[in-house]
Amino acid sequence: MPLGFSMKEMKDNKRILVLPGDGIGPEVCKEATTILELVNEIHSLNLSFSEALVGGSAYEATGEPLPQDTLKAARESDAILLGAVGGPKWDELDYQYRPERALLGLRSELDLFANFRPAILSKYLTSSSSLKANKVENLDLLIIRELTGGIYFGEPRGRTEGKKEAFNTMIYNQDEIERIGRVAFEAAQKRNKNLCSVDKANVLEVSVLWREVITELSKEYPDVRLSHMLVDNAAMQLVREPKQFDVIVTGNLFGDILSDIAAMMTGSIGMLPSASLNSENKGMYEPVHGSAPDIAGKGLANPLATILSAAMMLRYSFGLDKPATQIEMAIDKTLEQGFRTYDLEGSEEQKLGTREIGQKVIDNLQNLK
């Protein structure tokens, strides 16, 4: 799984599908693709780019949030960069037409079961965190969320006929738990070897099985220290003492919630990238934030989470560690220079728009060469 690359894969053309989507999606994707094009040139990476419709904008154009053409292009690509989907305009649509369906469809059709959500606090943003500096300084934790199972996809789901009642099913089987467990143990091995599995085993049968399977699996990874935590406690501990965590592994719904909590510790959700991988390192990369319709089209959005997602793409799908690290360093340099977007704390004179902060990152990247 992640990070095994043959020489052949390294040399081949790498097809990137860009799905800008809705709201601020196109603006932030533009900055990230400009940077990918630049590193492509600097390092002769053999990246090629194409674009397709997704989300509300796809619905407007075709009547579907995830058109067949887009799905086909996604299957044929080696990695996907997605901006954001959704907006108030489409809130009243039936479930199957909602922009979010595109996201869920891509995740499940491409079997992107392993969702990496790192929460890393740049040392230049300590004061932007919602927690006290001493609690979050140098925070670096990784949430690994199972992304194609659990209550998001469980059947049956629906409405009971004849009364106002609705239901979803939370279901996980051994294979699903094992494969996300392996990804998490392997990620922990590359970090501080500390894995916390989060569940609700005092109430949910699914969680009892989850705990059993993860515990059994831990025998294969004796170098990793495994702990279990109930999800309510984990939510509290994340806010109380976030640095106690190294890697967290959890199911789809709990991971959705915990990763938003972790996001606020890094100063802004505008700073958080994510990767969703299948078992062959094919991945979809997207900022954790949404489409922010209130600021869409104004050039005010923070593109750094999308640029960081592009860096994750280079590292996880293509094994290109060096250019990935350089992008991250260029972002750090930009923050060190005091430049901020409007979602981040900082002096008003150094606040920059989407394009302008993207350009600072480019300048810093070019100076690194």
Binding region for Mg ion (CB under 5 A) out of 174-182, 250-258, 293-301, 340-348: 250-258
Q: Answer yes or no: are the C-beta atoms of 20 and 80 closer than 8 Å.
A: no
For the question of residue 78 being annotated catalytic, the response is no
22 binding ligand IPM? (CB under 6 A): no
Contact pick of 256, 286, 328, 343 for Mg ion (by CB under 5 A) = 256
> How far is the CA of 30 from the CAs of 25, 53, 189, in angstroms?
9, 14, 35
Cα separation, 228 vs 194, in Å, equals: 11
| Structure-token match 């505008």, residue found | 270
The footprint of ligand IPM on this chain (CB under 6 A) covers a number of residues equal to 4
Interface positions, 214-273, toward ligand IPM (CB under 6 A): 256
Pair 19, 31: CB distance under 8 Å: no
111 is catalytic: no
Q: Which does 103 bind (CB under 5 to 8 A by kind): Mg ion, ligand IPM, none?
A: ligand IPM
Q: Comparing C-alpha atoms, which of 174, 259, 267 is closest to residue 215?
A: 174
CA angle 294, 359, 311 (to 5 degrees): 85
Q: Which of 12, 69, 91, 232 is catalytic?
A: 232
CB of 288 to ligand IPM, least distance (A): 6
Residue from 314, 239, 315, 305 nearest 273 by CA? 305
Q: Which of 22, 30, 59, 152 is catalytic?
A: 152
Question: Closest CB to ligand IPM among 103 and 324?
Answer: 103
Q: What is the DSSP letter of 148?
A: S
Q: x/- binding map, residues 71-110, to ligand IPM, per CB under 6 A?
A: -----------------------------x--xx------
Answer with the entry of ligand IPM, Mg ion, none that 362 interacts with (C-beta below 5 to 8 A by kind).
none
Contact status: 170 vs ligand IPM (CB under 6 A): no
Q: How far apart are CA 270 and CA 306, in angstroms?
A: 9
Q: Name which of 79 and 365 has its Cβ closer to ligand IPM.
A: 79
**Segment near Mg ion (CB under 5 A), from 80-88, 120-128, 157-165, 253-261?**
253-261
Q: Which residues contact 174 (CB under 8 A, 6 or more apart)?
A: 209, 213
Direct distance between the N- and C-terminal alpha carbons of the chain, in angstroms, rounded to an integer: 31
The answer to whether residue 140 forms part of the interface with ligand IPM (CB under 6 A) is no
Which residues lie near Mg ion (CB under 5 A)? 256
Which residues lie near ligand IPM (CB under 6 A)? 100, 103-104, 256
What are the catalytic residues?
152, 200, 232, 256, 260
